[in-house]
Amino acid sequence: MSRPSRSVNIDKSRQRRGTNLLDDYFVRNSAFPDTYFRRRFRMKRHLFNKIMIAVCNHDSYFVQKKDAFGVIPEQKIIATLRIFAYGASANQVDEIARMGKSTILESLMRFCSTIKSIYTTEYLRRPIEMDLQRLLKKGEM
């Protein structure tokens, strides 16, 4: 029940949408094969899982709490990645992930800061001589 001065809460069926996302892409015999996952999220499933595990281990915001209702870590990360991959707005992502605009924007901000914290030392640094040699060798192959 919402307060009188606030807009009415809308039942977005978050839990059902989270279950559908898992069934569509993340369970063993998912509805869509890996090629669909790659096309939809612009990355392979194993890379998504690697990022999700790293993000969940670094920031507990992305881990579903016992008393939380419905929003699974995949939903928050999928919403964020769809904003990056397609340049979508929070309102567009809301229709897919069934999360509120404020939750999507908070997920985006926390995801960005978490990725920066995790990967800055490895990927967001000036290349060293060893990196340059490795890339040149890879280019020759």
pLDDT on residue 7:
65
CA end-to-end span of the chain: 63
Nearest to 21 by CA among 31, 11, 12: 31
pLDDT on residue 4:
62
What number of CA atoms fall less than 13 Å from residue 40's CA on the CB side?
A: 14
pLDDT on residue 114:
94
pLDDT on residue 68:
55
pLDDT digits (tens, 9 = 90+) for 62-94: 887 654 555 677 888 888 888 888 888 888 887
Burial status of residue 8 (CB atoms within 10 A of its CB: 0-12, 13-18, 19 or more): exposed
> Percentages helix, strand, coil for the chain, rounded to the nearest 5?
65, 0, 35
pLDDT on residue 116:
92
Q: What are phi and psi of 98, to 5 degrees?
A: 60, 45
Q: Which positions of the chain have pLDDT values less than 70?
A: 1-18, 65-71
pLDDT on residue 87:
86
